[in-house]
Amino acid sequence: MPDLPRPRLPGRAAFAVVRSDPPQVFLAEDDEVLGRVLAIKLVAQTPPEQLGSHLAEVRDALLDERWADAVLAWMSATGDVVDAYPDDTIWTEEQLDADATALEIRLSPAFREAATE
């Protein structure tokens, strides 16, 4: 059976935050693209001397297209942490127009009467 394209949900995205100095943020349309972005724009851009004993592991993972393994080895080598969020909502004006927002705020817990004992 041929690989069919995965349906894209409107208003969804994958992103990663690299806790480095300065922090870096990567945004992609899904987790598969995010893996490739991290591989090419983060892991593969690291000079070999910064990868130390993890160099062969990183190279093998990149060549085998094992993006998550490459990122894990990169984190071990650099000490930087990557927090990845593979499927999060992108909020749009359509979802949060002014009228709907005003109504939702008025119905939120912040506007309930405080419970008294």
Q: Can you tell me which residue has the tokens 């506007």?
A: 111
Distances, alpha carbon 105 to alpha carbons 30, 60, 110, in Å: 31, 51, 8
The per-residue pLDDT for 6 is: 57
Residue 28: CB atoms within 10 Å: 17
* pLDDT higher than threshold 80 for residue 1: no
Pick 88 or 5 by higher pLDDT.
Answer: 88
Can you give the pLDDT at residue 71? 97
**Looking at per-residue confidence, does 5 or 106 come out higher?**
106
The pLDDT, as a whole number, for residue 41 is 97
**What's the confidence (pLDDT) of residue 15?**
94
pLDDT digits (tens, 9 = 90+) for 33-56: 999 999 999 999 999 999 999 999
